[in-house]
């Protein structure tokens, strides 16, 4: 990849006991872009995110964030690296006893010495960016799931981080709210110029949003490329996953699927023909 990388993974392997969750993962997250890692459930996407944040430590490999290797880094230095990041968790991770304003303001009060006037300016600017100016006095329990996501995004951006990480940002939202969130994410990235890294299994959403993407399968990275290159891939795993088809190397229990991640070229027309013949035979 010719673009400057803000995060790089090199040979990252993570296991829990005898179960390997990530196996020899290597790719670069380009600066100032929206990048997504996708894959079936249980493939290690969230574990990857936690390794990048430093909440988990891989058994092997290196993770570089803005030119610094964080694996084995001292807690004090890791804390400094984390301050460059904002995180949007699945449910927004809002404090239920705080209104939306105070939730957005929390990182500023906790980690800076800004005056309340400066904090208010930052909160209002980010609330406006995500369309929440009219809802700042409400508690999280009084707003919709989509509003919670927007509040979580505003809080993730309020410290002006270089990097924002998203953990399944559209989880629990209906398709219309997902489409609105996709537009919000793209607009926020354009406004801030930050690097956005998303883990998701929502293919249509990531096809609308991401510029670069990778697919995890059976603990390994099948492919990482630009969205355009991914669309043209002939890899059978990539083709099946992006098409959302039941027929192909990815089975119901993906860890039990005995298939080489390199994937043979998939003749989609032949696959459809075989599927039609099977349906006729079973009628």
CA 200/CA 215 separation, integer angstroms: 10
Q: Do 148 and 270 belong to one domain?
A: no
* pLDDT (0 to 100) of residue 19: 93
Q: Do 146 and 232 belong to one domain?
A: no
Q: Do 206 and 115 belong to one domain?
A: no
Q: Which residue matches tokens 């209906």? A: 174
User: What mean pLDDT is predicted for residues 56-66?
Assistant: 97
Please report whether residue 135 resides in a domain: yes
Q: Per-residue confidence at 186, pLDDT binned at 50, 70, 90? A: very high
Please report whether residue 91 resides in a domain: no
Under the phi-then-psi rule, with left for phi > 0, alpha for psi from -120 to 50, and beta for the rest, what region is 198? beta
Q: Do 65 and 148 belong to one domain?
A: no
Q: Do 63 and 111 belong to one domain?
A: no
Please report whether residue 128 resides in a domain: yes
Boundary-marking domain end, from 110, 138, 160? 160
Please report whether residue 18 resides in a domain: yes
Please report whether residue 215 resides in a domain: yes
Q: Do 35 and 53 belong to one domain?
A: yes
Among 205, 272, 263, 273, which residue's Cα sits nearest to residue 239? Answer: 263
User: What mean pLDDT is predicted for residues 106-134?
Assistant: 94
* pLDDT (0 to 100) of residue 59: 96
The helix-helix angle for 100-111 and 145-157 (nearest 10°) equals 20
Max Cα distance, the chain (Å): 73
CA 75 to chain centre: 24
* pLDDT (0 to 100) of residue 272: 52
What is the domain extent for residue 42? Answer: 5-84+161-282
Q: Per-residue confidence at 249, pLDDT binned at 50, 70, 90? A: confident
* pLDDT (0 to 100) of residue 279: 43
Q: Do 32 and 140 belong to one domain?
A: no
Query: In this structure, what is the dihedral angle of CA atoms 184, 186, 187, 189, given to the nearest 10 degrees?
Result: 120
CATH number of the CATH domain containing 13: 3.40.50.300
User: What mean pLDDT is predicted for residues 13-21?
Assistant: 95
Please report whether residue 89 resides in a domain: no
Mean pLDDT of the chain: 87
* pLDDT (0 to 100) of residue 280: 38
Cα radius of gyration rounded to whole Å, the chain: 20
Q: Do 105 and 181 belong to one domain?
A: no
Instruction: Give yes or no for residue 31 having a pLDDT over 60.
Output: yes
Please report whether residue 90 resides in a domain: no
Residues in the chain: 283
* pLDDT (0 to 100) of residue 276: 46
User: What mean pLDDT is predicted for residues 47-55?
Assistant: 94
pLDDT digits (tens, 9 = 90+) for 135-153: 999 999 999 888 998 999 9
User: What mean pLDDT is predicted for residues 252-278?
Assistant: 51
pTM: 0.85
Q: Do 166 and 148 belong to one domain?
A: no
Instruction: Give yes or no for residue 102 having a pLDDT over 70.
Output: yes
Q: Do 76 and 116 belong to one domain?
A: no
pLDDT digits (tens, 9 = 90+) for 150-180: 999 999 999 999 999 999 888 888 898 899 8
Please report whether residue 168 resides in a domain: yes
Q: Do 173 and 263 belong to one domain?
A: yes
Q: Do 175 and 37 belong to one domain?
A: yes
pLDDT digits (tens, 9 = 90+) for 188-239: 999 899 999 999 989 999 999 999 999 999 899 999 999 999 999 999 899 8
């Amino acid at each position: 990849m010719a673009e400057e990388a803000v995060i790089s993974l090199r040979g990252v392997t993570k296991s829990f006991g005898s179960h390997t969750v990530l196996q020899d993962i290597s790719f670069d997250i380009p600066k100032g872009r929206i990048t997504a890692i996708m894959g079936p459930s249980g493939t290690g996407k969230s574990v990857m995110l936690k390794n990048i944040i430093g909440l988990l430590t891989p058994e092997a490999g290196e993770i570089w964030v803005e030119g610094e290797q964080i694996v084995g880094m001292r807690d004090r230095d890791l804390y400094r690296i984390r301050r460059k990041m904002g995180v949007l968790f699945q449910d927004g991770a809002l404090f239920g006893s705080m209104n939306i304003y105070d939730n957005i303001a929390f990182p500023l009060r906790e980690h800076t010495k800004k005056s309340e006037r400066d904090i208010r300016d930052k909160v209002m600017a980010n609330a406006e960016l995500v369309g929440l100016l009219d809802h700042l006095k409400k508690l999280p329990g009084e707003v919709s799931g989509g509003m919670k996501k927007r509040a979580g995004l505003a809080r993730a951006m309020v410290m002006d981080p270089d990097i924002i990480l998203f953990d399944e940002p559209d989880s629990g939202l209906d398709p219309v709210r997902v489409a609105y969130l996709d537009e919000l994410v793209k607009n926020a990235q354009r406004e801030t110029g930050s690097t956005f890294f998303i883990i998701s299994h929502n293919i249509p959403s990531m096809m609308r949003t991401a510029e670069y993407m990778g697919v995890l399968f059976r603990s390994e990275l099948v492919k990482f490329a630009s969205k355009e290159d991914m669309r043209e891939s002939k890899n059978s795993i990539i083709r099946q996953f992006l098409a959302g088809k039941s027929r192909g190397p990815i089975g119901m229990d993906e860890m039990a699927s005995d298939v080489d991640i390199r994937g043979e070229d998939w003749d989609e027309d032949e696959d459809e023909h075989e599927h039609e013949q099977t349906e006729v035979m079973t009628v």
